[in-house]
Structure 1
Amino acid sequence: MKQEHLEQLENVIEAVKSRQIENVFFIACGGSMASLSLGDYFFTKETDVPSFVYTSNEFIHRDPKSLGQNSLVILRSHSGTTPETVKAASFARQKGALTVAISMETDSPLCQSSEYIIHYNYKDGSDAIDGETGMFYSLIFQLLNVFAPNEKFARVVEKLALLEDLYTKNREKFAEVADTFGKKNKRENIIYTMASGAYIHQAYSFTSCLLMEMLWIHSNAIHSGEYFHGPFEVTDYDVPFLLILGEGPSRPLDERALSFAKKFSEKVEVVDVETLIYEGVDEDLKEYFGPAIIGVVLRLYADALAEHTGHPLSVRRYMWKMDY
């Protein structure tokens, strides 16, 4: 990891240690919120520190009563220019909270509005450890080690050096099956996604940012545990589902949903997290690395749909083209 990134992480950790942090807020929009939600998942699973996720605008309008001087607010925007998130940073600082911005642009409005910065490299040839997931994971697991000290969190940070190799090997493994998916589903107008646990956030990102935003395919991210409480009524032989079969405590929820969906739909695609390549990762750390790797795999599915539909992922109708 680059020295500047190590120093940024160290500054945040020291700032957290110097204050009596009583709760943590993860604030962002869209795909950035989905990525931060993983931090909330691990915090609620591993610590007794109250943790919350808000889309930026609601964070401001709801004005949580527990937000104050003993709060840690972690915000993310890829470009650092998302207006709602920039305002959320200023709002949190006005409340006296400790604010940390995660972005690829250190001179962005978000970073200028926050006390501390976690910068990540993007498409500059850097290793994954200095990229989006590597920097976010480094931050989260170092924070976990502050609030609930455990030697395994230090091992996660150490193993992040494997990310680049793991990404490459899993891309190679899933390239063909993803391409087949794209070919089979190139004329589908709607594709539902299902997941649970840590993976529901990846399903949300895949649904909202890749299928709906980039490919203009109707979709909905369905929590496997909620599938039987309404959504399963749309299941039919010609209705496509992409289901992330997770690894961890909520896998039984996914297995139950999968069993039902396969009975009535002929278009169920399964991405089984247990089949990912975890080479070099300790057995007890797989649950932390799975969500990072699955994001790379799901991107292959989106790329394949783009290739076979002839719809580039860069095309937008409204985003960045008008005021909204």
Structure 2
Amino acid sequence: MLGFNEEEFLEQVRSTVALRSQIEELAERVSAGRWKNIYFIGAGGTYAAALPYERFFQTRSAFPVRAVIGKEFILAPDPQFGPDSVAIFASVSGTTEDILDCVEFAREKGALTVGFTGQADSPIATAVDEVLLSAPKAWPFDVQFLTFGAKLLSLRGEFDGYERLVKDLEAIPDALIAVTKQADPIGRAFAEKHADTDYHFLTGSGQLWGFTYLYSMCILEEMQWLTTTRVHAAEFFHGSLELIEKDTSILVFAGEDETRPLTDRVIAFAKEYSDDVTVIDTKDYELPGVSDEFRGLLAPIVADAVVDRFSKHLAQVRDHSLDLRRYYRVVAY
């Protein structure tokens, strides 16, 4: 498959699953310790990637958890953030400057700082109190975030089925290979159809809203220089629907959680008023070895594997490398 190294992919995902014991120890410390709240502090993709896990806590627990945009958080911090807080960071490279600034800020506030990265000697890995290392370039961080959240809530008596969930996560690396193979011809067809499309409208909800945000900004905009609109499916009918025309490319990320009716409503409208609707529906993808119980929680991981195929084929047909940048980490700002 285009731009896909199966051996490397399996190594990366398996390395995130292998962090289970370290993550459990961290969750046990937090549960038994002085900590009263948790902040996922991110920038760009790592902020977006944390949104499903903010939601995971907020729909199940009274324990305060927030996902925040780091640079804004430094300038306008939450008054509850301090020595009783856990600050969680993630960075593929371990060098993201905005995150480094936020780690320093969190340490000054006395928070426990935790970093997920794949670079042991990176600035972020050496700056945080606790570093949990995966294989280099391992992405996404969903396995780590979900394992931590589920274990902590299990200890609090607010999540049933932790052992069943981590058993499903053990099957995820091989299951995602199956997803990737199924998605490849779909991604290729999308790319060939949209080689010259310069605008895409994206929407999603629930566990997939953060991923919708991420794919719009961090892939289509940053990596392909394409214009996008991204809107939560619940907000679609409060203004953004006016942008839809017959030739508007609409991508709907449909998951398997309780917010599914929101995306179903958008799909029905979109198909009536546009001739170019692409639905990325996680329920269409088999997950060998994974039970049905937690498919809703696993939707971001599945969606990431699916649209990786879209991205690789878009880059090829548009002759625009996913590594090409004009400004990001190129010029001073």
Common fold: TM-score over 0.5: yes
Aligned to 2:260: 251
Residues 21-65 of structure 1: per-residue CA shift (max 9 Å, x gap): 222111011111122222212111221112111111011111110
Q: Which amino acid aligns with 2:249?
A: P
Q: Which amino acid aligns with 1:266?
A: D
Equivalent residue for 2:217, pick from 204, 208, 228: 208
Aligned to 1:100: 114
Aligned to 2:79: 65
Q: How far is the alpha carbon of 1:230 from its aligned partner?
A: 0.8
Question: Does 2:246 correspond to 1:232?
Answer: no
Residues 180-239 of structure 1: per-residue CA shift (max 9 Å, x gap): 111111101111111001101111111111100001111122111111111000100011
Aligned to 2:6: none
* Unaligned ranges ≥5, structure 1: none
Aligned to 1:86: 100
Equivalent residue for 2:326, pick from 296, 314, 317: 317
Equivalent residue for 2:156, pick from 143, 147, 151: 147
Q: Say if 1:273 and 1:290, in contact at 8 Å, map to a contact too.
A: yes
Q: How far is the alpha carbon of 1:245 from its aligned partner?
A: 1.7
Q: How far is the alpha carbon of 1:77 from its aligned partner?
A: 1.6
Q: Which amino acid aligns with 2:207?
A: A
Q: How far is the alpha carbon of 1:7 from its aligned partner?
A: 5.5
Residues 178/43 of structure 1: CA separation in 2 closer, same or farther (3 Å cut): same
Structure 1 range deviating more: 14-23 or 258-267: 14-23
Aligned to 2:313: 304
Aligned to 1:165: 174
Q: How far is the alpha carbon of 1:6 from its aligned partner?
A: 5.0
Q: Say if 1:121 and 1:132, in contact at 8 Å, map to a contact too.
A: no
Q: Which amino acid aligns with 2:102?
A: A
The whole-number CA distance in structure 1 between the counterparts of 2:254 and 2:32 is: 41
3-state DSSP of counterpart to 2:227: coil
3-state DSSP of counterpart to 1:107: coil
Residues 224/4 of structure 1: CA separation in 2 closer, same or farther (3 Å cut): closer
The whole-number CA distance in structure 1 between the counterparts of 2:125 and 2:137 is: 20
Q: How far is the alpha carbon of 1:11 from its aligned partner?
A: 4.2
Q: Which amino acid aligns with 2:83?
A: Q
How does 1:25-44 map onto structure 2 within 5 Å?
25-44=39-58
Q: Say if 1:193 and 1:219, in contact at 8 Å, map to a contact too.
A: yes
Question: Does 2:129 correspond to 1:115?
Answer: yes
Q: Say if 2:94 and 2:122, in contact at 8 Å, map to a contact too.
A: yes
* Unaligned ranges ≥5, structure 2: 1-13
Structure 1 range deviating more: 36-45 or 12-21: 12-21
Q: When the two structures are aligned, how many residues end up with a matched partner?
A: 319
3-state DSSP of counterpart to 1:225: coil
Structure 1 range deviating more: 220-229 or 87-96: 87-96
Higher relative contact order (CA 8 A, sep 6+): 2
The whole-number CA distance in structure 2 between the counterparts of 1:204 and 1:148 is: 31
3-state DSSP of counterpart to 1:219: strand
Aligned to 2:287: 278
Q: Which amino acid aligns with 1:30?
A: G
3-state DSSP of counterpart to 1:9: helix
3-state DSSP of counterpart to 2:323: coil
In the superposition, the TM-score normalised over structure 1's length comes to 0.92
Q: Say if 1:46 and 1:148, in contact at 8 Å, map to a contact too.
A: no
Equivalent residue for 1:189, pick from 198, 202, 205: 198
Moved over 6 A (4+): 1-4
Q: Which amino acid aligns with 2:326?
A: R
Q: How far is the alpha carbon of 1:293 from its aligned partner?
A: 1.1
Q: Which amino acid aligns with 1:117?
A: V
The whole-number CA distance in structure 2 between the counterparts of 1:161 and 1:85 is: 29
Q: How far is the alpha carbon of 1:299 from its aligned partner?
A: 1.2
Q: Which amino acid aligns with 2:261?
A: P
3-state DSSP of counterpart to 2:256: coil
In the superposition, the TM-score normalised over structure 2's length comes to 0.90
Q: How far is the alpha carbon of 1:113 from its aligned partner?
A: 2.1
Q: Say if 2:183 and 2:306, in contact at 8 Å, map to a contact too.
A: yes
3-state DSSP of counterpart to 1:40: helix
Q: Which amino acid aligns with 1:86?
A: L
The whole-number CA distance in structure 1 between the counterparts of 2:75 and 2:52 is: 23
The whole-number CA distance in structure 1 between the counterparts of 2:18 and 2:277 is: 45
Aligned to 1:46: 60
3-state DSSP of counterpart to 1:100: strand
3-state DSSP of counterpart to 1:194: strand
